[in-house]
Each structure stands twice: as structure tokens, then as C-alpha cells.
Amino acid sequence: MNFELSEEQRAYAASAREFAQSEFRPHAALWDAEAIFPKDALRAAGDLGFMGMYTPEAAGGLAMSRLDASLIVEELARGCTTTAAFLTIHNMATAMIGKYCQQSVIDAWCPDLVAGTTLASYCLTEPGAGSDAASLRTRAVRDGDTYRLSGSKVFISGAGDTDVLVVMARTGSGADEIGARGITAFLVPAHLHGISYGKKEKKMGWNAQPTRQISFDDVQVPAANRLGEEGQGFAIAMEGLDGGRINIATCSVGTAQQAIVDATAYVQDRKQFNSTIADFQHTQFQLADMLTELVAARQMIRLAASKLDHVDPSASTYCAMAKRFATDAGFKVCNDALQLFGGYGYIREYPMERYVRDTRVHQILEGTNEIMRVIISRQALMDGALEVIQ
């Protein structure tokens, strides 16, 4: 197994790093403090292809591997965790449209989605169906050439400020009214009659992207806007979540990397008891542990991404392991970095408290880390732990 990045991959990362440090990082504190959704910055990301990274080439995307895309996402997260995270959600929704919609719909929507001039939200979670996604109740009833969509979604990133919604709804009847069967995915223009948006949620972090509840009241969606076939929605959602888990884990690693860079510079400059903080053995050990955990998390993500790219049967398990480990480790690294800053880490003049706030939710998103443990242990009990790790 070759752990070295190719020249092309290094070029991807360098391009993303330069963009993030010039377009995201200088503004991230303001976006957070004033809850600004930076659409102009997202459009600029689209100019570099970052808004359609793994959307198929036939739909105008770059068709990148998950591994290559993770290199870009990590660098973007170093600039602004929240904006990078939304960008990955947009990428997930856009890739689904580009892969599963019929060509006329792809032609109508994907050029602007890939360019970042049109933005997408992904709508799976419901008030009564968080981790148990298969119990969703939003329903779409076929009526000739349309579906009538009713129900609600909650905790939707970008809601109210995006143009396209990829919505999971139940179309089955009888035995298909429960569980994973009978769920279908739809592309829903965000401002159709019957769609309403709740208040912008006041959150601990991720303030640079709006989060709202969405209600659908007999919304008429063209049947042509269906992704794939009826009943295929849950499989599409789970496919997206595997990639989403890699994405959010990568956002944690990127933020943790920047936290280590910032903390290392700080402890070499800050003096206490006539010595720099970096001279204290405790500080040195703390940095060593932080860096070790960061590298371990990064390698787990890259392994999971490789499994996903090669359609390995155990890819979902590896994605769950990477998400669980990297989001826990990333948050811990950011929290430890804040501790090295002492009181200064707690005030908003420095970015440490923002890193901590923004990475905390990663342990909840894309399936809580408790659910990741359920996925991993279930596979281990089914196939045997030795088989899982080979």
C-alpha cells in the first residue's frame, strides 16, 4: 500500500490550501460572529470546481475519487470549518442529482449547481427520525405526472437560502410504509408553493450556514424530478451518507490541523516563568499526542475513502470507523489546543473557541458516533472482527 500522495494529489491540496487561506480564513470569524452565509465565497469555490468534485463528468462535475476530494476538503476546513462543511453537503446533493436524475433534469440544474451559482440542501432528518432515518414520515403521493409532497424536515443546512432540495420521502404503501423500503428521493425546487421555512436556529457553532426546519404542504413535484426509481431512495441516502461521513471526518481533521499550527506558534511565543510554554515538557507531550491522533485520524479517513472508491464490501464499516475516530479526535485536538492558549483560547480574539464550537457538532452529524459504534459492532458480530479489519 502506497501512503505517498501523487504529484496531482499534492497539486489539488495546494490549490485548495491557497484558496482557503485567501478566501475563507480571513473572513471566517466575521461570518461566524454575524451569521453570514458566504455565497460569494462558495461561488468562488465553484470557479475552481470545488462545488462539483465528485459529480459525474457527464453532469459537468470533476468525477473525483473520494480520496482526492478529501484532500481538498481538509484544506478548505483549515480556512473555515463551517463553510467547508456546507460545501460538502452541497457536493453530496449535487452528485446525487448528477448520478440519478434523468438527463433533462441534469441539464437543467447541474451546470449552475457545479458552478456554485445555485446551492443545494440535503433533506433526510425529520423531527421524529434522527438517527433512525428509515422511520421517516414525509410522504409523496403520485398524482399523474406529479407527486404531492407533505411532511417536514429538521436541522437542514442552508435551508431558506438554497435553491434546490434533495428530499427523501415515503412513496410505498402497505408493508412499505415502515422501514427502509418504499422511500424515494426527489429534486425539489426550494421555493415551490407549499414549502415554508422555520426560524433560523441559534446554534453553538456552524453559524456561517443557516439551519432551519422545512415544511411541505401538498407540494407538487414533477415526477421527472425523481432520483432513480421509486423505492430506491434509502439506498441513495445511505450511499450519500458513507461519503458524508468521510467528509465530516475530514472537516474535523482539517480544523484540528489548523488548531495545531496555531497552537504550536503560540506556545513558542508565549512566555511564563521566564520560559516559553513550548519549553515545558507537558506542552511538548501534549503537542506530541495531538499530532499523533491527528495523523491517525487522517490515515483512517484515507483508508475509508479508498475502500469507498474501490467499492469494497466493507466500505460502510470503514467509513463509520473513520467518522467515529476522526470526529472524536478532531474535537479533542481542538479542545487541547484551546487549553494551550489558556484564557486567550476562550476569547473570540483568537480562533480556538470557534474551532471547538464548530467541530463539536461533527460527533452528531451524519449519524451520531453512538450509531457509528452500532454499525461497526454489528458488522464485527456478523462477520467476525478479524474479517472486518482485513
For 339-350, what is each residue's pLDDT tens digit? 999 999 999 999
DSSP-assigned beta bridge partners for residue 226: 186
Q: How far apart (Å, rounded) are the C-alpha atoms in residues 300 and 333?
A: 16
The pTM of the whole model exceeds 0.85: yes
| Residue with the larger pLDDT of the pair 338 and 181 | 338
| Residue with the larger pLDDT of the pair 184 and 388 | 184
pLDDT band of residue 3 (cuts 50, 70, 90) is: confident
Mean pLDDT value across residues 227-242: 92
pLDDT tens per residue, range 132-142: 777 899 999 99
Mean pLDDT value across residues 50-68: 96
C-alpha cell at 190: 426550494
Mean pLDDT value across residues 179-193: 92
Among residues of the chain, what percentage have pLDDT more than 70? 96
Q: How far apart (Å, rounded) are the C-alpha atoms in residues 178 and 195?
A: 24
User: How many residues appear in the chain?
Assistant: 390
Does 2 score more than 80 pLDDT?
no
Does 234 score more than 70 pLDDT?
yes
| Residue with the larger pLDDT of the pair 336 and 132 | 336
pLDDT band of residue 384 (cuts 50, 70, 90) is: low
Torsion sign over Cα 191, 176, 89, 361: positive
Q: How far apart (Å, rounded) are the C-alpha atoms in residues 365 and 136?
A: 17
DSSP-assigned beta bridge partners for residue 129: 126
Does 176 score more than 60 pLDDT?
no
**pLDDT reported for residue 389:** 57
Task: Answer whether 329's CB lies under 8 Å from 233's CB.
Answer: no
For 205-254, give the DSSP string: S-TTS-EEEEEEEEEEEEGGGEESSTT-HHHHHHHHHHHHHHHHHHHHHH
For 275-324, give the DSSP string: EEGGGSHHHHHHHHHHHHHHHHHHHHHHHHHHHHHTT-TTHHHHHHHHHH
pLDDT tens per residue, range 145-168: 999 999 999 999 999 999 999 999
Secondary element (H or E) of residue 39: helix 39-47
| Residue with the larger pLDDT of the pair 337 and 389 | 337
Active-site residues: which are they?
A: 366
Residue-range domains of the chain with CATH: 7-118 (1.10.540.10), 121-230 (2.40.110.10), 234-388 (1.20.140.10)
SS3 call for 156:
strand
Task: Answer whether 158's CB lies under 8 Å from 90's CB.
Answer: yes
Does 130 score more than 80 pLDDT?
no
What is the average pLDDT score of the chain? 93
Q: How far apart (Å, rounded) are the C-alpha atoms in residues 300 and 235?
A: 24
